[in-house]
Copies of this chain bind each other. A is one copy, B any other.
Amino acid sequence: MIIVVSEHASDAEVERLIGDVEARGVSVKAVQGEERRVFGLVGDVSEIDAEGLLRGGLVEKVMKVSAPYKLSGRSFHPEDTVVTAGGAGTDKAVVGDGAFLVAAGPCSVESEEQILKIAQDVKRSGAGLLRGGAFKPRSSPYSFQGLGLDGLELLKIASRKTGLGILTEIMSQEYLPDFERDVDVIQIGARNMQNFTLLREVGRLGKPVLLKRGPSSTIDEMLMAADYILMPGKAQVILCERGIRTFETATRNTLDVSAVPILKKRSHLPVMVDPSHGTGYWDLVEPMALAAVAAGADGLVIEVHDQPARALCDGQQSITPAVFDSLMRRVARIREALS
């Protein structure tokens, strides 16, 4: 950690500051400069609160030398991590280090007929996981909130009949046992990316977790959130870019495609992209799916609905099974072109 002392700090104040820091077992090295007093803090600085140091104008700038995340970082684990989901009764879904995975399905589970039909369609086109919301986080309490555990039962039926593993979002600790038992990949939604209680609890299960980026979260915050899940040492994490909130209103979110190569560089975890939520419009799903693949994504999460106009949520951003099928062919061609 490097600190720049304020030009207004007295020598006595600086001495006291150095004493405080050294008292925590960290050594302090001066960088001789002309205009400002700059120090390097060397040793185990994990106990030093960078922001606390800035208090009072005594320290003017702080630069952390090390990354703020560990378990999810490449320094910690240089090789690509491969996440494998599914097992007895369902197909194996593998993502990372060259393995490409597509999760597809409706925004929310509506009926047995609906989920089964879509599951069969997306499987035929090459999807490796069935996505579908049973518990739906909705900005408005007056919107459809999902079928809850009933929805999970319907997903299980579709999974049993197609072999596709289930990817679905958890919103509350109380359903942890259900998710542990029935879900192949547990999704932490964007709004819960910093619900640290939930991250920790999910991390205690021995399950793959898909962690969606919060709409106003930086890439580093996302990797720190991944560390929360990884800390108990049991879970596997897949990162998912799904758009950030910007001033642009032409899209629901701005899909940050550049997050893909950055995450791949900083982290060993697989990176999937959700162009459906990331754009909010069905006709942007294909071009942005192709863009994500071209940028190096390890997989895609895509909303597919057989009757988007009648979907109970997010119909606007769902594509039909036919469009999905065509998209999958084009994804394959892009992947081939990259190889």
Per a CB cutoff under 8 Å, which of B40, B53, B231, B249 touches A32? B40
Minimal beta-carbon separation of A292 from chain B (angstroms): 7
Partner of A40 from B33, B43, B172, B293 at Cβ < 8 Å = B33
Give the distance to chain B from A80, nearest Cβ to Cβ, in Å. 16
Write out the residue numbers on chain B whose beta carbons fall within 8 Å of the beta carbon of A309.
20, 52-53, 55-56, 58
Which residues of the partner chain B approach A290 to less than 8 Å between Cβ atoms? Answer: 294-295, 338
A288 interface neighbour in B2, B214, B261, B313, Cβ under 8 Å: B261
Closest to A220 in B: B250
A235 interface hit (Cβ, 8 Å)? no
Stretch at the interface among A95-103, A111-119, A153-161, A279-287: A279-287
- Neighbouring B residues of A142 by C-beta, 8 Å: 46, 68, 70, 227
Enumerate A38-67 residues with CB–CB distance to B below 8 Å.
38, 40, 42-43, 46, 49, 51-58, 61, 63, 65-66
Say yes or no: is A311 at the interface (Cβ < 8 Å to chain B).
yes
0/1 interface trace, chain A 103-138, chain B, CB 8 Å (1 if under): 000000000000000000000000000000000011
CB contacts under 8 Å to B, within A284-339, are: 284, 287-288, 290-296, 308-318, 330, 333-334, 336-338
Q: Is there an interface contact between B196 and A138, defined as CB atoms closer than 8 Å?
A: yes
Who on chain B is nearest to A16 by CB? B309
Taken residue by residue from 158 to 184, chain A's Cβ proximity to chain B (1 for < 8 Å, 0 otherwise) reads as 000000000000011110000000000
The answer for the CA separation of A338 and B329 in the assembled complex, in Å, is 10
Residue A18 CB within 8 A of the other chain:
no
Out of B54, B173, B247, which one reaches A316, CB within 8 Å?
A: B54
User: Shortest CB–CB separation between residue A329 and chain B, in angstroms?
Assistant: 10
Contact-residue bracket for chain A:
35 or more
A109 CB to nearest B CB, Å: 16
Residues of the B chain whose Cβ atoms lie less than 8 Å from the Cβ of A58: 309
Q: Which residue of B lies closest to A190 (CB)?
A: B194
Residues of B within 8 A of A308 (CB): 52, 55-56
Interface members, chain A 253-293 (any B CB < 8 Å): 254-262, 265, 278-284, 287-288, 290-293
- Bound Cα distance from A34 to B336, whole angstroms: 43
Cβ distance A321 to chain B, nearest Cβ, rounded Å? 15
- Contact residues of A between 201 and 252, Cβ < 8 Å to B: 214-216, 218-221, 224-225, 227-228, 231, 244-251
Q: List 27 A-B contacts (CB under 8 A).
A: A32-B42, A36-B66, A51-B280, A51-B315, A53-B309, A55-B309, A55-B311, A55-B315, A56-B282, A58-B309, A61-B65, A137-B194, A141-B231, A172-B197, A195-B195, A219-B250, A246-B246, A246-B254, A251-B262, A254-B254, A255-B257, A255-B258, A291-B291, A294-B334, A334-B334, A334-B337, A334-B338
Ranked 9 nearest A-B pairs via Cβ: A216-B216, A31-B40, A52-B315, A294-B294, A337-B337, A290-B294, A291-B291, A172-B197, A191-B194
Task: Give the interface of A toward B (CB within 8 A).
Answer: 2, 4, 7, 20, 29, 31-36, 38, 40, 42-43, 46, 49, 51-58, 61, 63, 65-66, 68-70, 75, 137-143, 171-174, 191-192, 194-197, 214-216, 218-221, 224-225, 227-228, 231, 244-251, 254-262, 265, 278-284, 287-288, 290-296, 308-318, 330, 333-334, 336-338
